[in-house]
Amino acid sequence: MIRYDDRSTPAVKDYLALVESTGWPGIVEKGARKIAEALSNSWYLVCAYEGDRLVGSGRIVSDGAHQALICDLIVLPEYQGRGIGSEILQGC
């Protein structure tokens, strides 16, 4: 069963593993410190877990007044096609 959490920030190592699964270039190379900073500066963050495993994540960055952007919507490849990304977006 997939559990959705919008109250805590994922462990950086878990988030990096999620990003690595996508093959997105340039994100992992920023390093754990920058990723931790990006996650903590997110305006809103939703994570999907199966047990303790991070299987998906989506976040919003915002100017806090007028504009917001959904970014980094990621679902592990083996979990894609199950509606996890859609559920994350509904949380956003």
DSSP letters for 34-51 = HHHHHHHT-SEEEEEEET
CA–CA separation, 45 and 39 (whole Å): 8
Percentage of residues in the chain having pLDDT higher than 90: 80
Q: Could you report the per-residue pLDDT of 55-86, keeping only the tens digit for each?
A: 999 999 999 999 999 988 999 999 999 999 99
User: What are the residue ranges spanned by the domains of the chain?
Assistant: 2-82
Mean confidence (pLDDT) of the chain: 92
Residue 3 has pLDDT above 60, yes or no: yes
Decide: 46 and 55 in contact? Cβ < 8 Å: no
Cα-Cα end-to-end distance for the chain: 20
**CATH number for the domain formed by residue range(s) 2-82:** 3.40.630.30
Question: Do 59 and 42 contact (CB within 8 A), yes or no?
Answer: yes
